[in-house]
Amino acid sequence: MRTPLTAPGNWLTRPLISLFLLLVMLSMSSQAMAVAPVITNPASGSTLPTIAVGQSMSITISSVGGTMPLDRWVECDANDPDYDGVTPCLPPGLILDASPGSATTVLHGTPTTAGNYTFSITLNDGNNDGGVATYNLLVTSSATPTLTSVTPNTGSTAGATSVTLTGTNFTGATAVSFGGTAATGYIVNNATTITATTPAHAAGAVNVAVTTPGGSATLTNGYTYAVPAPTVGPVSATVAANSSANPITLSLSGGAATSVAVASAASHGTATASGTSITYTPTAGFSGSDSFTYTATNTSGTSSPATVTITVTPPTLAITPTTLPDGTQGAASSHTPTAPP
């Protein structure tokens, strides 16, 4: 008689437990094998290029590895970013972009305080592991600027002249002034040139100054404000025949004129300039059109000429007497009317 085979009471549960334990071990192995991100460029421990206060900088930082998706970059941790018992953050004025999910970021900004800084940054990954890099950065005091020339070095008292300032150590310039008045605007092109727009100012030579975090530079009498040359426009006037010294209203603009002059004479009369005024006298007995040209002058120059058009009206005849005496019927009567010349 055969004995029937019977399975142990736990024959179904043993494989399930084994599978569960295998999965747990694989998961633990996977976590153990996970590698935190490594910041590779610049490598941890690097000394970054020396920079001066007020000088802008931008450095791309990259990494490899880490559990995806990556989290974000942080500039320091409230506790200890590099786990060495020190909690250094970025030098004042610098910013580290968070760059969520990216293996690269940018450290940028403009340092505001000189010093020898050691600081750390961290890239956290999807497994909350952090890759840390520590850098050294020397921030020097800004060099004192120099200002050697302004081109052009003269312009209108109205301002709005674009000029180029040339010198050294202009990076981070915080002010540009002409005769103590701030430039309307300026752009720091590079460490040696600034493009500025002059403000309005009274006539005369003025000092030009540039201020940077490293100090100030002044070019004595570096720019001269000049009154612009005057301009004149065409005008017209009507005068009576046989009149004299008729004042002509001129069209003057631009810089204030200090004098006017008759550039080309009238053909049928006389134009006379005195100071900033002109009078016109037509030739006796003339009526009709006449013209002459005039200019205006000041310390900055003389205008182009403009034309004055004159209309000389004919004289009005006044015959006298206007009435005749009564005559006598049958008697001869003779009267001669007269008119002014």
* CATH code of the domain containing 282: 2.60.40.10
User: Smallest Cα–Cα separation from 178: which of 121, 116, 221?
Assistant: 221
Are 185 and 127 in the same domain?
Answer: no
| Domain containing residue 207 | 146-226
CA distance 96 to 162: 37
CA distance 20 to 307: 108
Q: Is the pLDDT of residue 81 over 70?
A: no
- The predicted model gives 48-55 an average pLDDT of 87
Residues 179-206: b if buried by 16+ CB within 10 A, e if exposed: beeebbebebeebbebebbbbebeeeeb
* pLDDT tens per residue across span 272-296: 999 999 999 999 999 999 999 999 9
- Three-state SS at 25: helix
Say if 283 falls within a structural domain. Answer: yes
Say if 336 falls within a structural domain. Answer: no
CA distance 102 to 325: 119
Tell me the two tokens of residue 321.
């007497």
Say if 247 falls within a structural domain. Answer: yes
Are 118 and 182 in the same domain?
Answer: no
Are 237 and 304 in the same domain?
Answer: yes
Contact 81, 87 (CB under 8 A): yes
- The count of domains in the chain is 3
Are 197 and 240 in the same domain?
Answer: no
Are 265 and 199 in the same domain?
Answer: no
**Cα distances (angstroms) measured from residue 104 to each of 23, 36, 109, 194:** 35, 15, 17, 34
CA distance 293 to 51: 65
CA distance 89 to 139: 15
Contact 114, 139 (CB under 8 A): yes
* pLDDT tens per residue across span 158-185: 999 999 999 999 988 999 999 999 999 9
pLDDT for the residue 138:
92
List Cβ neighbours of 161 (8 Å cut-off, separation of 6 or more).
Answer: 152, 155, 197, 198
Are 98 and 72 in the same domain?
Answer: yes
Are 272 and 221 in the same domain?
Answer: no
